[in-house]
Amino acid sequence: MAVKKCAKCDTEFQAPMNALWQVYDGIGSKADIVAVAWEREDGKVFRYDLPIPQRLDPKAAKFVSYVVDRIAKFIVWSAGGWKLYLSGPEAVVGPVAKAYTKKGARAFDWDFFTSIYGRPVEVVVLPLKKMPETTEKMQYVKTVADGCRIGFDLGASDFKISALNKGEVVFSKEFPWDPRNNADPEYHYSMLTAGLKEAAASLPRVDAIGGSTAGTLVGQKMGIASLFRAIKEKNPSKFETAQNMFFRIEKDWGVPFAIYNDGDVTALAGMITMGRKGILGVAMGSSEAVGYITPKGAMTGRISELAFAPVDFNPKAPKDEWSGDAGVGAMAFSQQAVNWLAEKHGFEFPKEMKLPERLKVVQAAMEKGDAKALKVFIQIGRFLAHAIPWYNEFYDYSNMMILGRVTSGLGGEVILETAKAMLKDVYPEWSEKIDIFMPDEKARRLGQSVAAAQIPVIKAKRR
């Protein structure tokens, strides 16, 4: 896979595909394989094979090991996982195996996924022939809603519920709430239940319920989520009760029920309204949220928390304040990215000004033609161009939908056009394969609660 080196981006930025190109460039007539696989719930596995030179001197082995570390980190934040399988030379995979321990270089990731899956993260080094293959279970979604359905979308400051009768929206309402500051899981359960009952009153019956939620999901069990932050911190003995809230809702109603992360449901909304499949949706807001629809129109159940997945291989890239890792998605495609780029290009903000307000300042300057603001959004567009082929290594998609507050206004147009132009120049193969776009007004109007309502499959009744 030949990839042109990027001579038009900041010298500090190290594009992932350039790193892969350097590894491939060292391969002669024969190659070895380094295999990386993560296993998650229900035996699901995502595996990635990296061809490497058969002979590596210590310097080359160190570089390849770093690339493998970045791949392993990307996969776990893309698919999720509690068990890491590695195969390859000790000089390459040994440091990666050591990193994924309680006190290793990836201690944050170890803690995070240990908490999500309720079991310590494990690492196993195996011969290549014993490595597990990719195994995923797809959830196919009908694009024509039948029966009487309810859909909900849980956000940080409000949640929205819609009711559909044979595809027609007959009820839609936003319910304000404050989940992040309530330490009793009964608050979350009772608020959502009350909203569902109000929606149900507009239907002759309820045949199915589908949901969309912020945070990580393991099946229908919540992992780490800001919605339950107060419970986790102030009432930890009740955290498991909160995590199992959706099982309780499903039991209460006794109808087909499904819950997916909000990123996947956003991508689903794009599929329903635009007739596109193979969609990777990237929402640039307070962080980076990602959702995925396969080329066959299915959802995979991956966590897709790409805010913590690497997109810049420079170890000296800006670090995310929570994970402490450098060059991750949150530092390229979010309000955090706008902030550090704005300061880099000469913006000065009061210390007490929050990131959403700083974003507004930069966007307002962009609307007035400020050259410093233009540089910010051009750089995000460049980041996006480099991320598109890299993301394509792990997601099979032909459509990238970008959205979120960072893409609002003229700045969003600059991001989009810059990414398209640079992709065509640096990665022409992917430019022909992948269409980058922003959702149209129809997709925005559909909303995640209406899309979520269409996820559960209503089983035909026996006569």
Q: How many domains does the chain contain in total? A: 2
Q: Are residues 427 and 406 in the same domain?
A: yes
Domain boundary among 69, 103, 130: 130
Residue 6 confidence (pLDDT) above 80 = no
| Burial of residue 360 (number of CB atoms within 10 Å: 0-12, 13-18, 19+) | middle
The 10s digit of each residue's pLDDT in 266-293 is: 888 888 888 889 999 998 988 898 999 9
Q: Are residues 105 and 146 in the same domain?
A: no
Q: Are residues 309 and 448 in the same domain?
A: yes
Residue 63 confidence (pLDDT) above 70 = yes
Angle at alpha carbon of residue 290, lines to 285 and 293, rounded to 5°: 145
The pLDDT of residue 463 is: 43
Domain contains 158 = yes
Domain contains 189 = yes
Residue 202 confidence (pLDDT) above 90 = yes
Domain contains 174 = yes
Task: Judge contact between 395 and 431, C-beta under 8 A.
Answer: no
Q: Are residues 43 and 101 in the same domain?
A: yes
The 10s digit of each residue's pLDDT in 378-395 is: 999 999 999 999 999 999
Mean pLDDT of all residues belonging to the chain: 91
Residue 377 confidence (pLDDT) above 60 = yes
Domain boundary among 130, 159, 187: 130
The pLDDT of residue 12 is: 67
The 10s digit of each residue's pLDDT in 258-268 is: 998 888 888 88
> Mean pLDDT, to the nearest integer, of 64-73?
98
- Which residue range(s) make up the domain with 120? 16-130
What's the pTM value of the predicted model, to 2 decimals?
0.86
Side-chain-facing half-sphere of 299: CA atoms under 13 Å: 32
Domain contains 342 = yes
